[in-house]
């Protein structure tokens, strides 16, 4: 069955452009396209979509409606994935999006809309409970964290830092192994080492703590 999608974007051109771009994909079904948070709430209630694709800023306030919608859905409809689109690199919003858990959450810059493959990948990952974080946001967070004298990143080897960046982008062990020409077991051992060095709780059984590992040690850079 196709992924049922609600699009929330106050710009008419971008909203309709997204509808047109995604309409031909047999794996996607756009069930509603709205321009504000109240309309988004109504569309979710009416259609029960698999994924919401939303801008950060929409009426009525034009501030953080997309993030608030994601936070609200995490509490009321945790099975609905959310892909947030942002005009600029805004790490604090990315941190808020993933703060309640990485399951079914993706954060992309709007410039990715032109890359259909990447956009559809984010939608598919959110639908299946995966996670995607835009590489440019990761770069900003990592650069800021590296400038700190007591960075947790100092505990990681260069290879572990590289793998952690790929994990935060939603890469599976096999995808990372292929990209870096490593064995799947080698990647698994690196990730185990990373999680241990970052002092993540051993009893956290959520597989998506791999993404939260990045957000956890970068969270103090949000300001």
State both tokens at 44. 């979710």
Same domain, 105 and 209: no
Same domain, 98 and 143: no
Would the pTM count as exceeding 0.75? no
Same domain, 185 and 76: no
Same domain, 129 and 80: yes
Same domain, 216 and 147: yes
**Number of structural domains, the chain?**
2
Who contacts 44 (Cβ-Cβ below 8 Å, separation ≥6)?
A: 6, 52, 73, 77, 80
Same domain, 17 and 79: yes
Measured distance CA(108)–CA(113) in Å, rounded: 9
Lowest mean pLDDT among 4-8, 37-41, 72-76, 205-209: 205-209
CATH for 199: 1.10.10.10
Measured distance CA(12)–CA(66) in Å, rounded: 16
Q: Which of 89, 113, 133 is the last residue of a domain?
A: 133
CATH for 60: 3.40.50.2300
Same domain, 147 and 39: no
Res. 190: pLDDT tops 80: yes
DSSP single-letter state for residue 35: S
What pLDDT is attached to residue 203?
A: 58
Res. 204: pLDDT tops 60: no
Res. 213: pLDDT tops 80: no
Q: Which of 81, 106, 133 is the last residue of a domain?
A: 133
- Domain enclosing residue 175, as ranges: 137-221
Same domain, 111 and 155: no
What percent of the chain is predicted at pLDDT more than 70? 84
| pLDDT tens per residue, range 133-154 | 888 877 776 666 556 555 676 7
| Region for residue 11 given its phi and psi (left: phi exceeds 0; alpha: psi -120 to 50; beta: otherwise) | beta
User: Tokens 């069955």 — which residue?
Assistant: 1
Residue that wins the pLDDT comparison between 173 and 167: 173
For all residues of the chain together, what is the average pLDDT? 85
Same domain, 96 and 202: no
Same domain, 98 and 166: no
Same domain, 37 and 97: yes
Confidence of residue 161 (pLDDT cuts 50, 70, 90): confident
Same domain, 42 and 9: yes
Lowest mean pLDDT among 97-101, 125-129, 190-194: 97-101
What pLDDT is attached to residue 148?
A: 56
Q: Which of 101, 133, 165 is the last residue of a domain?
A: 133
DSSP single-letter state for residue 11: -
Find the mean pLDDT for residues 156-173: 83
Burial state string for 138-155 with b = 16 or more CB within 10 A and e = fewer than 16: bebbbebbeeeeebbbee
Find the mean pLDDT for residues 49-68: 95
What pLDDT is attached to residue 96?
A: 85
């Amino acid at each position: 069955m196709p992924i049922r999608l609600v699009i929330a974007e106050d710009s008419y051109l971008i909203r309709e452009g997204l509808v047109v771009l995604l309409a031909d994909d047999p794996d996607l079904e756009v069930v509603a396209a709205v321009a504000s948070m109240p309309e988004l709430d109504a569309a979710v209630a009416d259609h029960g979509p698999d994924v919401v694709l939303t801008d950060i800023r929409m009426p009525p306030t034009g501030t953080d409606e997309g993030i608030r919608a994601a936070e609200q859905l995490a509490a009321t409809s945790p099975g609905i994935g959310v892909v947030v689109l942002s005009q600029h690199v805004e790490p604090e919003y990315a941190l808020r999006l993933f703060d309640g858990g990485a399951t079914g959450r993706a954060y992309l810059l709007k410039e990715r809309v032109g890359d259909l493959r990447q956009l559809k990948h984010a939608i598919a990952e959110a639908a299946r409970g995966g996670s995607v974080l835009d590489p440019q946001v990761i770069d900003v967070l990592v650069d800021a964290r590296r400038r700190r004298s007591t960075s947790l990143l100092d505990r990681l080897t260069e290879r572990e830092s590289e793998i952690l960046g790929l994990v935060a982008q939603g890469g599976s062990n096999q995808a990372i192994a292929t990209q870096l020409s490593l064995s799947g077991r080698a990647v698994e051992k690196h990730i185990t080492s990373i999680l241990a060095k970052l002092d993540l709780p051993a009893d956290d059984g959520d597989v998506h703590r791999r993404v939260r590992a990045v957000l956890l040690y970068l969270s103090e850079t949000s300001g």
